[in-house]
Structures are given as C-alpha cells and as structure tokens.
A and B are shown apart, each in its own frame.
Chain A
Amino acid sequence: MDDDKLLLEQFKKPETKEQAYTAIVRKYQEKLYWHIRRMVVDHDDANDVLQNTFIRVWNGLANFREDAKLYTWLYRIATNECLSFLEQQKRKSALPLDSGDENLSNKIRADKYFDAGKLEWKLQLAIQQLPEKQRVVFMLRYYEEMPYEEMSRVLETSEGSLKASYHHAVRKIEDFILNH
C-alpha cells in the first residue's frame, strides 16, 4: 500500500482522521503552493487559494473515489480554486476583462526581487501571456512533469488536445522570451 492509500485509510477512521489530514497537508502543501503561486503570483493570494483548497480537501476527502489518484484530485481542486480566484479578480477589477493578465505581469514586475535581465523572470512574464487554461497545461507539464494521462483527469481534456496545447504554449513562450 502506497503512502496516499494509507493516508486515505487513516482519514476514514475518526481516531486518525486529523493525523492523516495533517500528513496530507504536509506532504502536498509545497507542491500545491507553488502551482498556485505561479498562477496568482502574489503570496497572500496564493495563501488564500491554498487554504481554500485544503478546506475543500477536508470536506470532500471522505467522498473521494479511490479509483483516482490523490495527487491528481488535489491538483484538480487547486487548479479550480486558482481559476475561480482569477475570475473573481477580473470581476472585481474596474479595468476591462482582458487586462487580468496584464495585472499579473505588473505584480511580477513589482516583486522586490524582480530582475528583467534574468531568464527565470522573463519566463514568468511569458507564462502570464498565455490564456489561463493553456497556462495551467504548461505549468502542470513543465514544472510538475505530470503525464498527459493524469493531466487529462485533472483538466478533463483529451490527451491529444493537451499535447497540442503544450506544444503551442512552448512556442509562444520562446517567442516572448526572445523578443522581449
């Protein structure tokens, strides 16, 4: 039995439920945090989204179907929370809807450690130029190296579409980095 299955078994038992939950948070917090942080850029926003993600985990884990992998389910929740958060940010903004990506780019440039000459920062700016769904595909594939099969479960999209989307995302990012 792998770690996740053991944790799920423990979560179902009242006497070990809290212990299992703490262990799950500890195991996945950093992975999910960075996935979220790259999407929303700001730490406080990432903190809010991460909390909401784990609250949903607490409320929904009892009904989790074990035919899916726990980490796939966690990424799915985190991704949905990210997209919901970004959508809310766009609605709250008095600026036009398509300025949301520009807002994130401005947040990146406003970072205390931002260095326009470094490729790592240019990459972050390039990622924000992508449409949101394509951004998620790129991050899951590039940073998490998630197999397409798993990614298709997270995003409920066919593997072929995901491969094509990732391919186009890489081309766009290369073009942005080379021309900015």
Chain B
Amino acid sequence: MEPKNDINNHPEERSELLDSISKAPVYQVPEGYFEHLPEALTAAVTGAGELPSWLEGPLSPQAKVPPGYFDNFPQKMLEAARRSEAPKGKLVPLVRSFRYAAAAAIVVFMFLGLWKFQQAYNTAVPLYASFEKIPDDELVEYVDLQPVAGNGDLAYTNSGGITFSEEDIMAMLEDYSSQELEEFLRVEAPVTL
C-alpha cells in the first residue's frame, strides 16, 4: 500500500479549515459488515455459496445455469434455427383469410336468396293458375262490389259511373262566372224551350 502523508509534501495544498476537520467517517456501517464480507464474496464468486441476504445486490454473482448448459450451445442454437426453417405448412396472411371468409359469406347469401326466391315462385304459381279457372265476368263483379279505400263521403263505384249530388254540382259551378255558363249553354248545350 502506498505510504500516506503525501499531502504533507505539498504545503501549498494545506488548508487550515480542512485541517481542523476530522477525517473520521461520519457515516455508520452495519455491525459486523466487514467481518463476513471477504468469505461471503469469495463463496459467491466461486459458486461455493450464495450471498447472505444482507449482501445481496442488483448484480449478485450467484445466478447460475444448469450444469452443461453452455456445452455445445452454438451447435444447439444452429440446429434449432434449422428446424425452424423447415416448412410446416403455408401461412395465410390474416387479410387474405378475411377475403376468403367474405367471399364464402356472399356465396352462402346468394344461395339462400336463390333458394327463398324459388320457394316463393313455387308457391305463387298454383295461385295464379287457380285465377285462370274463374270467368272474367265473375272477377269484374267481385271487384265492383269491393269498397275502395279513401274518402268515405265520395259515393261512386268503378263500373257504374260517377254519381254527383245536387250540392256537388252547385259547388263545382261556383268556379265559373254567369257569362261563362251562359256561353257554355248557348254553344255546347242549347236549351230548347
């Protein structure tokens, strides 16, 4: 070990203030810390033992691997890499899988739609065929007898022409002036007295 007091050979470095301060450590150390450290460290670095808990640190050297772990390690890694290169099947990208699924779904929907249409057609054909057996006169009579949806006050039927009440006629004539009516009667419908 290098002899101390080298600083005394450099009086220009002396400081009265620093000389007045004790160099004794101000910090405390756990009791017995230095007594066990050498043996504990030796045991740890040689693998003969583990560090005691009070000595454990972030880089404790007791981490071990199974015996022979690193024997032929490069060769093992090479073989593992080769095995991973062997073809095990075709990997289909996820996007492509989605496309296949969508196409399949469209085909199924088209098939279902066609099937439903066919079923409706098969059901409808006998109905139309049965109409052909009914005479036209009966069909016309049936339609004439059915009420037509709409204003209930309007009293008319499809086949019998329009029937107006006197009030209706008077209401329609209000839209025309007396001169227009007289002209109409004189030209289109002359009244013979």
Enumerate chain A residues within 8 angstroms of B130, measured Cβ to Cβ.
none
- Interface residues of chain A, those whose CB is within 8 Å of chain B, are 3-4, 18, 21-23, 25-26, 29-30, 33-34, 37, 41, 43, 47-48, 50-52, 54-55, 58, 69, 71, 111-113, 118-121, 123-124, 141-143, 145-147, 150, 166-167, 170, 173-174, 177-178
Is the beta-carbon distance between B57 and A52 smaller than 8 angstroms? yes
Min Cβ gap A170→B in Å is 5
Min Cβ gap A24→B in Å is 8
Residue of A with least CB distance to B57? A48
Enumerate chain B residues within 8 angstroms of A143, measured Cβ to Cβ.
23
Indicate whether A170 sits within 8 Å of B42 (C-beta atoms), given known contacts A29-B34, A113-B28: no
Is the beta-carbon distance between A47 and B57 smaller than 8 angstroms? yes
Is the beta-carbon distance between B38 and A147 smaller than 8 angstroms? no
Q: CB of B112 within 8 A of chain A?
A: no
**Sample (5) of A-B pairs whose CB atoms are under 8 Å apart:** A48-B57, A51-B51, A141-B7, A147-B6, A166-B13
Is the beta-carbon distance between B59 and A52 smaller than 8 angstroms? yes
**CA A170 – CA B28 in complex, angstroms?**
25
Is the beta-carbon distance between B18 and A55 smaller than 8 angstroms? no
The listed residue (B13, B23, B27, B29) touching A167 by CB distance below 8 A is: B13
Min Cβ gap A59→B in Å is 8
Enumerate chain B residues within 8 angstroms of A50, measured Cβ to Cβ.
37
Residue of A with least CB distance to B46? A18
Indicate whether A26 sits within 8 Å of B38 (C-beta atoms), given known contacts A37-B27, A51-B57, A170-B18: yes
Is the beta-carbon distance between B29 and A43 smaller than 8 angstroms? yes
Indicate whether A123 sits within 8 Å of B57 (C-beta atoms), given known contacts A18-B42, A166-B13: no
Enumerate chain B residues within 8 angstroms of A112, measured Cβ to Cβ.
28
Enumerate chain A residues within 8 angstroms of B22, measured Cβ to Cβ.
120
Is the beta-carbon distance between A48 and B42 smaller than 8 angstroms? no
Residue of B with least CB distance to A21? B42
CB within 8 Å of A: which B6-46 residues: 6-7, 13, 15, 17-18, 20-30, 33-34, 37-39, 41-42, 45-46
Q: CB of B74 within 8 A of chain A?
A: no
The listed residue (B7, B26, B29, B55) touching A51 by CB distance below 8 A is: B55
Is the beta-carbon distance between B18 and A174 smaller than 8 angstroms? yes
**CA A146 – CA B1 in complex, angstroms?**
10
